[in-house]
């Protein structure tokens, strides 16, 4: 028996967890004033880069005495730049509860080979952040994009810590409240919550992080692309838009358009409310269907951006194959693109709920998820 398809489709089927849906108002003509074919060091380019930095500060509420820089190689570039320039001065606590955090653990343990303690948790769980030694440096990811598990808040991080906290906030910035007084280094990329383009990363430094950079020289060589100091002093220009190497002014323009849209929906508060509404719609669906559940075990740690779901139905014979088949049915119907779980994560679905996604699209997509599940169960039974 063929299942009846739902009557409506989402206007935008893009629910990818990165690059994420562009702001609803986006179209390519909005990039027309990018200073293309001009030097990024000429006045118009520099003004755009500085505007990107200061609007980021404004929307995210970054304190005035924190430095914000635009750096190469997206979030990976920003986070590794911080690790390579600041770690090694003291032991480090490496914290991971999913794939991206695990990648930073590999950096510290196998590449930098610094004195370390590793704290990990399984997919769906979170590390006990109160059990860390904050006299050491601490590296962690605020929102685990591949497990949908996030920090509920920063209360466990002491204000009077001696070490630095290095926070990968790629899928958290612009969707969650980040407690700046608890974060010494914060990084993210444009391609995530605001639906910008990849390639550039943001590096946000507290005064203590700057102090570390100016007082400590790592034992290993640093490529030019990672160098943040010269003669023991911070290269201040990097934090005023004088980028280390050439940025894409098209990407910068696109980020400015996204920031402008962010302000139009109420800034950070508005963005958080949009993500919460999207994740709430998914939560209502999960509550109403006994064959699907969150990967995150503790509701307090459930992400409002990368919402990771698992199927929990005894009739499913092969979990990974089933989840892939459901994701394929959704993509083939053009109702939900790129919603398969991350390649290293447990089988399931991952639905991006960041603020650029419209709740009406989540609402229109969810009946299709029920349809795809029922259709796949039926297909599986028929072939058994
Ligand atoms: C938590 C986290 N860290 C790092 C990255 C890597 O980001 P990028 O590819 O922009 O460097 C991602 C991308 O999905 C992420 O979600």
Ligand 1 mutation pick, 189, 192, 305, max ligand atoms within 8 A of CB = 189
**What token pair was written down for 379?**
């297909």
Q: What is the mean pLDDT of residues 10-30?
A: 98
List, for residues 105-114, the tens digit of each pLDDT value.
999 999 999 9
The predicted model gives 48-59 an average pLDDT of 98
Q: Residue 259: CB partners within 8 Å, gap ≥ 6?
A: 52, 55, 56, 59, 194
pLDDT digits (tens, 9 = 90+) for 114-159: 999 999 999 999 999 999 999 999 999 999 999 999 999 999 999 9
Is pLDDT of 85 > 80? yes
Cα separation values, 133 from 159, 167, 169, 217, 230, Å: 13, 16, 21, 23, 31
Above 70 in pLDDT, residue 1?
no
Q: What is the pLDDT of residues 239-293, one digit of tens each?
A: 999 999 999 999 999 999 999 999 999 999 999 999 999 999 999 999 999 999 9
What percent helix, strand, coil does the chain show, rounded to 5? Answer: 40, 15, 45
- Span 219-229, average pLDDT: 97
- Residue whose CA is closest, atom 12 of ligand 1? 170
pLDDT of residue 3: 80
Q: 18 CB less than 6 Å from ligand 1?
A: yes
Query: How far is ligand 1, taken at its centre, from the CA of residue 99, in Å?
Result: 10
Task: Extract the tokens encoding 358.
Answer: 């419209």
Give percent of the chain with pLDDT exceeding 90.
98
The encoded tokens of residue 211 equal: 């102090």
pLDDT at 331 over 70: yes
Confidence of residue 365 (pLDDT cuts 50, 70, 90): very high
DSSP H or E segment with residue 104: helix 99-106
The answer, yes or no, to whether any atom of ligand 1 lies below 6 A from the CB of 75, is yes
The rounded mean pLDDT for the chain is: 97
> Do 17 and 143 form a contact (C-beta atoms < 8 A)?
no
Reported as a single tens digit per residue, the pLDDT across 92-102 is 999 999 999 99
Give yes or no for residue 168 CB within 6 A of ligand 1: yes
Q: Is 59 strand, coil or helix?
A: helix
DSSP code at position 70: E
CATH number for the segment(s) 266-383: 3.90.1150.10
**Is the CB of residue 171 below 6 angstroms from any atom belonging to ligand 1?**
yes
What CATH number does the domain located at 38-263 have?
A: 3.40.640.10
Q: What is the pLDDT of residue 150?
A: 98
The mean pLDDT value for 38-61 works out to 98
Distance 201 CA to ligand 1 centre (A): 10
Q: Which two tokens stand for residue 290?
A: 């006994």
Alpha helices in the chain (DSSP H): 43-60, 74-86, 99-106, 207-215, 249-264, 267-288, 319-332, 359-383
76 C-alpha vs ligand 1 centroid, how far in Å?
Answer: 6
Q: Is 145 in the pocket of ligand 1 (CB under 6 A)?
A: yes
pTM beyond 0.95, yes or no:
yes
Q: Is the CB of 187 under 6 A from ligand 1?
A: no
338 lines ligand 1 (CB under 6 A): no
pLDDT at position 12 over 90? yes
pLDDT tens by residue, 283-327:
999 999 999 999 999 999 999 999 999 999 999 999 999 999 999
Q: Do domains 38-263 and 266-383 have the same CATH topology?
A: no
Q: Please report the pLDDT score of residue 384 as a whole number.
A: 80
Domain boundaries, the chain: 38-263, 266-383
What is the mean pLDDT of the segment spanning 85-98?
A: 98
Q: Is any ligand 1 atom within 6 A of the Cβ of residue 198?
A: yes
Q: Dihedral through CA 348, CA 353, CA 359, CA 360, nearest 10?
A: -50
């Amino acid at each position: 028996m063929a299942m009846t398809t739902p009557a409506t489709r989402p206007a935008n089927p893009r629910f990818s967890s990165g690059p994420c849906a562009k702001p609803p108002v986006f179209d390519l003509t909005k990039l027309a004033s990018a200073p293309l074919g001009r030097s990024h060091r000429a006045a118009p380019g520099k003004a755009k880069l500085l505007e990107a930095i200061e609007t980021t500060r404004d929307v995210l509420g970054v304190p005035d005495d924190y430095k914000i820089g635009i750096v190469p190689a997206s979030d990976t570039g920003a986070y590794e730049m911080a690790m390579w320039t600041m770690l090694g001065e003291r032991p480090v606590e490496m914290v991971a509860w999913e794939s991206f955090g695990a990648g930073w653990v590999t950096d510290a343990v196998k590449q930098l080979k610094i004195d370390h303690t590793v704290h990990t948790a399984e997919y769906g769980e979170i590390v006990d952040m109160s059990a860390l030694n904050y006299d050491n440096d601490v590296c962690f990811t605020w929102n685990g994009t591949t497990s949908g598990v996030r920090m509920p808040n920063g209360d466990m991080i002491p204000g009077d810590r001696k070490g630095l906290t290095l926070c990968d906030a790629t899928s958290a910035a612009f969707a969650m409240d980040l407690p700046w007084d608890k974060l010494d280094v914060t990084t993210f990329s444009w391609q995530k919550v605001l639906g910008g383009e990849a390639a550039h990363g943001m590096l946000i430094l507290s005064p203590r992080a700057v102090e570390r950079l100016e007082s400590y020289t790592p034992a290993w060589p640093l490529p030019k692309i990672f160098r943040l100091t010269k003669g023991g002093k911070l290269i201040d220009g990097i934090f005023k838009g004088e980028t280390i190497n050439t940025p894409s002014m098209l990407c910068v323009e696109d980020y400015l358009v996204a920031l402008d849209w962010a302000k139009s929906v109420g800034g950070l508060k508005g963005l958080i409310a949009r993500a919460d509404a999207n994740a709430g719609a998914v939560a209502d669906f999960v509550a109403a269907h006994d064959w699907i559940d969150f990967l995150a075990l503790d509701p307090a740690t459930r992400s409002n951006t990368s919402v990771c779901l698992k199927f929990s139905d005894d009739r499913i014979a092969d979990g990974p194959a089933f989840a892939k088949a459901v994701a394929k049915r959704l993509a083939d119907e053009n109702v939900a693109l790129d919603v398969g779980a991350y390649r290293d994560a447990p089988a399931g679905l991952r639905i991006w709920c960041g603020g650029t996604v419209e709740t009406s699209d989540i609402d229109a997509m969810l009946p299709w998820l029920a349809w795809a599940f029922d259709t796949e169960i039926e297909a599986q039974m028929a072939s058994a």
